[in-house]
């Protein structure tokens, strides 16, 4: 199966349909329940709901999901039975295959129960009607003038002792979101220099400033203290979300002191220095974090 390790849990739904075409006389008998195998619609509905929960056992690449709701409905029309399913959950991956499996098995159940009296039935129009949730619902299109800055804060990296990796990961991730104007700088672990640099970037109108490094517990980790001096309004939920995300993957995530907040219309977020931790913070916060700019620039009462 494809890894969904870094996907974010969101509310997800999926709707699908299938249609079983039957002969006119078959439809009359179905409505009267005058059949060798009785209660076709009830049995098919039950079969569809049961099948949706068995999807990972049928399709090798499907992940096991904790489904929170499955509904299957069958409606009789002019010489056809229309089947629709709705599946919902809070998870890392969508449930479209569960919805499609539900209607497919329900349609096969109708076919199986009616085949003694109708040899020309046809199952058609098996398709996904709608899906919601996931990052597709949080799509961020960076405006042409959106500006971001990446600050790598490390004594050793700024002296060239080792090549920066985390800052490059952040920059490439922002590019994947459509951000085109990205500056990058290396700074030593010096409080006054970091404060001055953050304030200057905000004064220049940079929208998003992401730092990496200096959020740990060593004596030279001063990024958080510097950011606190630059930030005018802290946004606690940002770092809390990232730490909670990381804590499910490593018991050390709680040791990050990273913070986030506003200065004017700029957003400052301090990420850890570890490349692995940076990946986790980016996965936890984006693209949802960018909704902050819609709120910050909206009319009062948004």
Cα 257 from Cα 234, distance rounded (Å): 13
CA distance 275 to 193: 23
Alpha-carbon span 38 to 25, nearest angstrom: 16
Pairing of strands 181-187, 208-212: unpaired
Q: How far apart are CA 227 and CA 264, in angstroms?
A: 14
How many CA atoms lie within 13 Å of 231's alpha carbon, on the beta-carbon side?
Answer: 22
Does the annotation count 137 as an active-site position? no
Dig out the tokens for 227 from the structure.
Answer: 């950011």
Give the other-Cβ count within 10 Å of 288's Cβ. 16
| 287 cis-preceded (ω within 30 degrees of 0) | yes
> Please, which residues have CB within 8 angstroms of residue 137's CB and are 6 or more apart in sequence?
10
Q: Which of 175, 172, 232 is nearest to 202 (CA)?
A: 232
The stretches of 38-165 forming alpha helices (DSSP H) are: 40-52, 55-58, 96-114, 155-158
> Which of 34, 39, 112, 155 is labelled catalytic?
112
Residue with tokens 């009785």: 38
Catalytic residues: 112
């Amino acid at each position: 199966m494809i890894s969904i390790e870094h996907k974010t849990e969101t509310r997800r739904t999926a709707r699908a349909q299938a249609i079983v075409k039957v002969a006119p006389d078959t439809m009359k008998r179905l409505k009267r329940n005058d059949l060798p195998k009785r209660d076709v619609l009830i049995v098919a509905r039950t079969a569809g709901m049961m099948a949706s929960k068995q999807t990972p056992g049928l399709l090798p690449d499907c992940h096991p999901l904790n489904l929170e709701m499955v509904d299957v409905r069958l409606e009789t029309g002019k010489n056809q039975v229309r089947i629709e399913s709705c599946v919902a959950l809070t998870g890392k991956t969508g449930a479209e295959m569960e919805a499609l499996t539900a209607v497919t098995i329900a349609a096969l159940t109708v076919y199986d129960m009616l085949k003694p009296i109708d040899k020309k039935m046809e199952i058609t129009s098996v398709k996904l009607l709608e899906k919601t949730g996931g990052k597709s619902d949080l799509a961020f299109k960076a405006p042409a003038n959106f500006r971001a800055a990446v600050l790598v804060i490390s004594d050793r990296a700024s002296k060239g002792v080792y090549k920066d990796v985390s800052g490059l990961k952040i920059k490439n991730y922002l590019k994947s979101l459509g951000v085109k104007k990205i500056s990058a700088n290396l700074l030593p672990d010096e409080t006054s220099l970091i404060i001055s640099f953050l304030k200057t970037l905000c004064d220049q109108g940079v929208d998003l400033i992401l730092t990496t490094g200096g959020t740990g517990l060593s004596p030279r980790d001063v990024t958080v203290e510097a950011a606190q001096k630059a930030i005018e309004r802290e946004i606690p939920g940002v770092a809390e979300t990232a730490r909670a995300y990381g804590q499910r993957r490593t018991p050390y995530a709680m040791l990050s002191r990273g913070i986030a907040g506003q200065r004017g219309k700029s957003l400052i977020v301090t990420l850890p220095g570890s490349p692995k931790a940076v990946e986790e913070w980016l996965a936890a916060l984006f693209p949802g974090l960018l909704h902050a700019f819609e709120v910050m620039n909206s009319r009062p009462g948004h």
